[in-house]
Chain A
Amino acid sequence: MIAIVDYGVGNLFSLRSSCAKIGVEATVTGDVNVIEKADGIILPGVGAFRDAIGKLRQTGLDKVVKEECAAGKPLLGICLGMQMLLQRSFEGGEYDGLGLINGSVKPIKDVIPADYKVPHIGWNKLIFKKRTPLFKYINEGDFVYFVHSFYAADCEKNTTAVTEYGYPLTASVENGMVFGCQFHPEKSGEVGLKILRAYAEIAEGGKQ
């Protein structure tokens, strides 16, 4: 079972539906016991970094996520959920993240050409940087759906894929059993479902 962490931020309907579509048991939960029992954790997130990390800490769920990670349980952060895995964010100030992956979150507008639109919204190609089990069912050049104004910076060592938007923006990261996707697999059609299936298999595989 995969625990989709519900800490009061964002819309979890599509994530739950996409797991159901591929036959993966997933529970939307804010219950520490359920998260502890799960084979894998998905950390979603939309909106502002400060609000999201604040709510995660307020609910105390940041602790259980970190503890389970330390114990080797697979974790997948999506969009803002991925950004929260990093050490800090410079969105509207400076805020600490979970520190599970080295690097920081910075504005896209600082690195892309001036005539490019922000947010980076729409379908863009994945360019692989490292082999990752998360992409075992997809191909380089496959399209996924992005919506974001900030990106994961200074995390080259952990970057598994980038996407080109006048600058190679980080598309996915990985550090041991910690995974992150800047794009939305639950909104990326068949390609996204294949990524979620691969993640579910990683989680199921870790179950002894």
Chain B
Amino acid sequence: MITKRIIPCLDVRDGRVVKGVNFEGIRDVSSPVALAEYYSSCGADELVFYDITASHEGRKLFTEILTETAKNVFIPLTVGGGINTVEDFDRVLKCGADKVSVNSGAIKNPLLIKEAAERYGNQCVVISADVKRVDGEFRVFSKGGRVDTGMEAVSWIKKCVDLGAGEVVLNSIDTDGVKKGFDLEMLDAVCNAVSVPVIASGGAGNIEDFITLFTSLPKVDAGLAASIFHFGEVRIDELKKRMRAAGINARI
């Protein structure tokens, strides 16, 4: 049987890895290439590179780092951040990315998903959604979690999957950076609505949070986190051993 995936996320700005708490107060961590190699050797199943650069120079730096990583790390690489056109897909795929995640770009133009899926296959297109509770419903936010789009999240994600997205990254703004566990309620709602793999993001504070995630929501395919891995609070090899001990299928 297929294993539950553990995915470290590297937020990259101007060639360096950063991680915010609730998307603000960004702290510098380390070199993306070195960190990617380290994670791969510890048993990470996949890596996500998230480009939070705004400038053209920063973007060039990002693709250089991506290329360097893809030359040395042989596990699937997903790239997100600033993906607005099919040309953006092309740009990162040529540098060694395997999947591309879209967020604000798909909110602006949902047909981007369809166009990209037709050209590169559904497996290549990941819909990443930043979701927060507003007035008793799950609301989609854009621009790195700053702007309320007014759209209900579950129907939005379902629409993206219908358009061709092959995977969903669900990031709960409510639990992100809080380190009190994943947003199980929100994840359950999304898992019940789509048939493609769902990756949980936002809220992991310790190993137990991953165990709780996979045992209480077996439909979730993967757990994604950043700072707890970057700051060594959770080691991926230890996490996987604990997952196995808890009866969760993990690649060791």
Contact = CB atoms under 8 A, between A and B. Distances in A.
Physical interaction between A and B: yes
Interface of A: 11, 13-14, 17-18, 20-21, 46-48, 117-124, 143, 145-147, 164-165, 186-190, 192-193
Contact of A122 (B94, B95, B221): B221
Contacts of B74: 14, 17-18, 21, 186-190, 192-193
Nearest to A146: B2
Contacts of B96: 11, 13-14, 17
B122 interface: yes
Nearest to A79: B123
B166 interface: yes
Given A123-B2, A145-B76, A189 B121 contact: no
User: Which of B2, B40, B76 has the most A CB atoms < 10 Å from its CB?
Assistant: B2
Given A117-B195, A119-B166, A122-B45, A13 B1 contact: no
A124 B250 CA distance: 10
Contacts of A122: 2-3, 5, 45, 197, 221-222
Given A164-B1, A186-B74, 16 more contacts: A14-B98, A17-B96, A20-B71, A46-B123, A47-B120, A48-B121, A117-B197, A119-B122, A121-B2, A123-B3, A123-B251, A143-B3, A165-B2, A187-B75, A188-B74, A189-B74
A170 to B, nearest CB: 16
A147 B196 CA distance: 12
B70 interface: yes
B221 to A, nearest CB: 7
Interface string B1-30: 111010000000000000000000000000
Contacts of A147: 123
Nearest to A47: B121
B167 interface: yes
A146 B251 CA distance: 13
Contacts of B121: 46-48
A194 to B, nearest CB: 11
A119 B3 contact: no
Contacts of B222: 122
B93 interface: yes
Interface in B157-191: 166-167
A118 B3 contact: no
